[in-house]
Structure 1
C-alpha cells in the first residue's frame, strides 16, 4: 500500500537514536508486516478531548507510549514553571487498573522530577476522584491520572487536572497543547530525580473517605441503613479501593460484592465493555441481586468516575436507570435536603451539560436555584465552581452516568454518588417508597422526560472523514422537519450561533466553541449530534417529553415516548 510521505517523515524521526531500540524494532516490523497499522499509528498526533487524551497503547504519534506521554509531561512541566514562577511546584499522580498504567505513571513522575518538580505518586491504583481530591488536599499545582476510563483493554490515557482540582479547560489546555507541539522528542527529560518523588496512600485514602461521608450522607437512621440490601461491583476497576470502606464507615453493613469482578484486572475478563452505561456490564451484579433479594445494584467503570444504578421497578424487577434518571433523582434529593435545612438563599446552583436532560432546568426553577449548563464533560461543571466563587454548588451531573456531590472533588465521582444513592434508597425504603417510585413522582411533578443515545463507531482515517462529513451535512443542509415535527431552532456550538428556523433570526451562544449541533423540534423534543472527544464515534442524543398526570398512566405514556424516539431515529435514517 502507498503511505503518505508526511507519515513516513514522522516514522523516520522515530527511527533515530532518541528512541529506544525496542521502539525502533517494533516500527521496522510494522513497516514490513503491517503497513496499515503503521499508517494508523502515525497518521495523526493523539489529541486532548473531552476527557483528556486516550488512545491505543503502542509505538507512534497516535498511540499511548512513554514518548507521547513524556512529551505531554515535558510540555506541562515547562508550562507550570512559566505559570508559577519562583514557586515550589508540586504535582500528584494516580493511575488505574489498565495494562502499563503503573509503569507509565512512573515515567510521568520521572519526567516531572527531572524538571525539578515535586511529585506525589500513589503507591497503587486509585479512583480518579481521589486524584482530584488529593490535588487540593496536598495543595498541588497540577495532577495527572493514567486512565482510559471505560474504553477497551488496549487503550490507556492521560488526564490533566489544574490547581482547583478540575480538569484542564481553556485557555490553559490550548496553551499547553501549543507548548507540547513545539517540543522535539529529544527535549524530554526522562532521567528521574528520585528524591523529589514521594509515594502516598493510606493518609490520603482516609481523608478522601471522610470527606466523601461528610459530603454525601444525610443523618439517615441506622435502622434504614441496616434494612437496605446493596449489591456492588467494581467491574475489575479502582473503586474497590474506596467504595467498600466508604459504605462500611457510613454504616451500610448489608453489602454484597460481586466476587468475580472484585480483583482489579486490565483485561476486564467478565465483561464485553467495563462501562456501567451498558446493561450487560451489570448483568452479574443484577443476577446476584436476584439471589440476595437486593434493593439496589451499584457498579463503577475502571477509574471510578461513572456509576451505574439498577433498582426494582413497581413490579419488583431489576431495571438499570440511565444517567439522566439517576441525575434527576440525586439532584431532587439534594435540593430538598438543602431546602429543609433553610440553606437555599438564591446563591446556589446545580450543574448540567448541553446533551443532558432538560429536566434539570425544571428542578432548578422549582427550588429557586440556578442551573448552569456547560459543554459535554465534567471539566465544565468544575469550571463553574471556580468561576463563580460567590455561589454554592449543590450537585450536578451529565447523561453519561457521572455525578458530583458538592465541591470537594472537582470531577464526576462514583464514590460519593454511590453513597448518596444508597442514602436515597435507604430513606425511601424506610418511608415505604423506592428510588423508582421517587423517580415516577418527579415525572408527575416536572414532566416525563426520557432520553436515548445512539453511538456510531467509525474507525481509522476513513471513519474520521465519515464523521466529519456527517457533521458538515447536518450544518450545511439542515433538516427542516424530523418525524413530522418542524425544526424550530438549531444551535451550532462550533459557530456560536442559535438560529430561529421560522424567523431566520440568529443569536450568539456564549459557551466555548465545540463541534456540537442541537436541533429543537416544535413538540419540545431535542436532538444533539457531536463527535466523541475520546473515541472514534459520533453520538446522537435524543430527549423527548410528555405530561404525566398520574403514575397509573406511566406505562402508556412511556410507550408513546419510546415510539416517538424510534420514529425520530428512523426519520433521520440512523437505524
Structure 2
C-alpha cells in the first residue's frame, strides 16, 4: 500500500512503537532503530503486507510488511468492518453476524487466532472458535455447517517454518474472490489503530454469547460427511490394504486416524513416527511440502522396512494429498495430474448420477486429460483460473444452475476437492477416497500404476514438463511477456505463429483479454491485467505460462498428448526447452533457469 510512501523512516518507527503492544515485536523494531539499521527498517516498515485472494501470507517478523500480532489485529478489524458494511444484517439472527476461526500448529498460530477472535468480538460479531489444532478444511466445512458469514484459518500450509498466513473464506464456504478481496484490503487500511481491548485475548473467556467453542461439533459432522462420501464406494472382499502415512510434521494424523477407522483399515496403517507429531520447525524436511524432492524419503524408508509399496501423505495443514508407489523396485511419486485423473475416473464411475449429469473441474494449468475423459465418457468438464478460490466458486455456480452437479475438482499442485464435503481442497477427504480406490483396485488385481496405464490406453498418454525461471523483478517479468506478445507482429496475427518449429493454433491471453477460440475474441475466463497469464495450443501440445503471484518466478506448464508415454514426454520436454530458449531468453533478461 502507499500510505507510508511520504513518511520518514523515523516516523514509521514511531508509528510502529505507538501501535504495537507486543513486547517481542516492539523490541525487534526498537533494536533495529537503536542500531540505525535503516535498510532493514525500510524492508520491515515501508511497505504494508498486501491482502489478496489468498488473504495474507508472510514470514513472522515485526513490521508492517510481515505477519505479527499487530498486522493480525489490523487485518481482523478490517475484515470485521467489511462484514458489517457489506452484509445486510436484517437477514441474520442476533448476534447479527458470525465468523468461524481455526488454526494449525505453526509458531504463533494459536496467538494469532485468539487475536483474530478478539477483534471480531469487539465489533459485536459472534465467533465460532475451533479451540484446538485443526486441518484447514474444517474452517470452510464448519462455516457452512454453522451458517457463518466468513471464516479465517491461521496457516501457511506447506510454507517454510518461518511463515504463517491468514486465509479468508466467504459465506458460501469458498475462498474469497474479487471484488471481495479488494474491499477487505480497503477496509484494513481504514482500521489500522487497534481498538481498546484488542490485545486482551482473555475476552474469549468472558464474552458470554459471543464465543462458542465448536471443534468437537464440527469434527463430528465433518467425519460423518466423509463417511457418506466413501460409503457408496465400498468394495467387499478387497483384502488387506497396506500403506505408510505421513502428516509431514503437521496436524493431519488425528484426522487420518479417523479416516482409517471409518474405512476399517486400522491394521493396514503404518505412520512415519519421525514426522507424526505436529512440529512447527519441520525438522526432517527442508520444505514441508510432499511435492519437494526428498520430502517423502522417510516415508519410503518406513515402507521398505515394512514391505509396503504404497506411501500416502498430507501437507502440514492437511489440505493437500500426495501418493507414491513402488513399481518394479523403484519408488514413483504420482504427480498431481496423475492423482487428479485417478480420482476423477473413480468419482464418475461411483457416482449415483449418470455421467451426463455430473461436472468435473480443473484449473488452466492442470492436465487436459480430464477434458479428454469428459469427451469420451460424457461428463461436463469446465476449466477455471488457477486456485481453489475459482474451482470452488465455479463448482457452486454450475450446481446452482441445476443441469449438472459439480462433484469433483482438482489442480496439479496436489489439491483435490470433493464437493459433497467442502468446496475447497481437502487432503483428508482425498485420503479417504484414495484408500477406498486402493481397496477397489486390489479387488480387481491392479495398483495405482496399473490403473493409470488403463486410463492412458483409453484416453491417450498425457505427459507434463513443468518448471520455472527466476525473474529479478516484476518489471522484467512484464518485459518478458510483452516481448512474447510482440512476436505476433511478425506473424501478422494477434499472437506468434510458431514456437520451436511447431505451429500455434490456439492463443488465450488473460492479461490482455484475448481468446482466439471465441467468436468475439473475448475469453470466457476472467481477465486480470495485473497478472501475466497466456495459454497456447499446438497439435498435440498445450501449455500455460504465467507470472507467479507469490514468488519472483515465471512458471511454465507444458503437456503433450501422444499414443505412447515416451513420445508424449519427449514432445513436452522439447516445447518446454523452446519456451525458455526462444521466449523467456534468460541471457537477455537476466533470468535464472531452475
TM-score (norm 1): 0.90
Q: CA deviation at 1:161?
A: 0.6
For 1:476-508, what per-residue CA distance to the aligned partner results, in whole angstroms no more than 9, with x for missing partners? 4565432221333332112221248xxx99710
1:88-107 matched pairs, under 5 angstroms:
88-107=96-115
Tell me if structure 2 keeps the 8 A contact 1:217–1:420.
no
- Give me the whole-angstrom Cα distance separating, in 1, the residues matched to 2:295 and 2:227: 27
1:111-190 matched pairs, under 5 angstroms:
111-186=119-194, 190=198
Change (3 A) 1:42 1:568: same
| Stretch of structure 1 that moved more, 560-569 or 282-291 | 560-569
- 2:219 matched residue in structure 1: 205
Asked if 1:11 corresponds to 2:12, the answer is: yes
Change (3 A) 1:507 1:414: same
- Give me the whole-angstrom Cα distance separating, in 1, the residues matched to 2:390 and 2:226: 21
- Give me the whole-angstrom Cα distance separating, in 2, the residues matched to 1:153 and 1:330: 31
- 2:536 matched residue in structure 1: 520
**Alpha-carbon RMSD:** 2.6
- Give me the whole-angstrom Cα distance separating, in 2, the residues matched to 1:395 and 1:324: 14
Q: CA deviation at 1:555?
A: 5.0
Q: CA deviation at 1:37?
A: 2.6
1:297-312 matched pairs, under 5 angstroms:
297-312=311-326
Q: CA deviation at 1:421?
A: 1.3
- Give me the whole-angstrom Cα distance separating, in 1, the residues matched to 2:572 and 2:527: 32
- 2:505 matched residue in structure 1: 488
Q: CA deviation at 1:454?
A: 1.4
1:400-439 matched pairs, under 5 angstroms:
400-439=413-452
Structure 1 residue runs without a partner (length 5+): 549-553
- Give me the whole-angstrom Cα distance separating, in 1, the residues matched to 2:237 and 2:8: 65
For 1:223-263, what per-residue CA distance to the aligned partner results, in whole angstroms no more than 9, with x for missing partners? 42x41111100001111130121112211120100000001
Q: CA deviation at 1:20?
A: 2.4
- Give me the whole-angstrom Cα distance separating, in 1, the residues matched to 2:27 and 2:475: 31
- Give me the whole-angstrom Cα distance separating, in 2, the residues matched to 1:218 and 1:294: 27
Match of 1:26 among 21, 28, 49: 28
Change (3 A) 1:155 1:457: farther
TM-score (norm 2): 0.87
Q: CA deviation at 1:317?
A: 2.6
Change (3 A) 1:34 1:8: closer
1:346-425 matched pairs, under 5 angstroms:
346-388=356-398, 389=400, 390=402, 391-425=404-438
For these two proteins, the number of residue pairs brought into alignment is 557
Tell me if structure 2 keeps the 8 A contact 1:115–1:189.
no
Q: CA deviation at 1:351?
A: 1.0
Change (3 A) 1:568 1:293: farther
| Stretch of structure 1 that moved more, 468-477 or 407-416 | 468-477
Tell me if structure 2 keeps the 8 A contact 1:496–1:510.
no
Question: Could you say what secondary structure the match of 1:355 adopts?
Answer: coil
Question: Could you say what secondary structure the match of 1:491 adopts?
Answer: strand
Q: Which has the higher contact order (CA 8 A, sep 6+)?
A: 1
Change (3 A) 1:246 1:269: same
Q: CA deviation at 1:556?
A: 6.3
- 1:551 matched residue in structure 2: none
| Stretch of structure 1 that moved more, 80-89 or 181-190 | 181-190
Question: Could you say what secondary structure the match of 2:463 adopts?
Answer: strand
- Give me the whole-angstrom Cα distance separating, in 2, the residues matched to 1:60 and 1:527: 39
Q: CA deviation at 1:183?
A: 3.0
- Give me the whole-angstrom Cα distance separating, in 2, the residues matched to 1:474 and 1:556: 27
Tell me if structure 1 keeps the 8 A contact 2:469–2:554.
yes
Structure 2 residue runs without a partner (length 5+): 489-495, 587-592
Tell me if structure 2 keeps the 8 A contact 1:516–1:528.
no
Q: CA deviation at 1:74?
A: 1.0
For 1:247-301, what per-residue CA distance to the aligned partner results, in whole angstroms no more than 9, with x for missing partners? 1221112010000000101111000111111241111111112222223211111
Tell me if structure 1 keeps the 8 A contact 2:416–2:425.
yes
Question: Could you say what secondary structure the match of 2:50 adopts?
Answer: coil
Q: CA deviation at 1:130?
A: 1.4
Q: CA deviation at 1:325?
A: 0.7
| Stretch of structure 1 that moved more, 199-208 or 11-20 | 11-20
- 1:470 matched residue in structure 2: 480
- Give me the whole-angstrom Cα distance separating, in 2, the residues matched to 1:256 and 1:293: 11
- Give me the whole-angstrom Cα distance separating, in 1, the residues matched to 2:397 and 2:165: 27
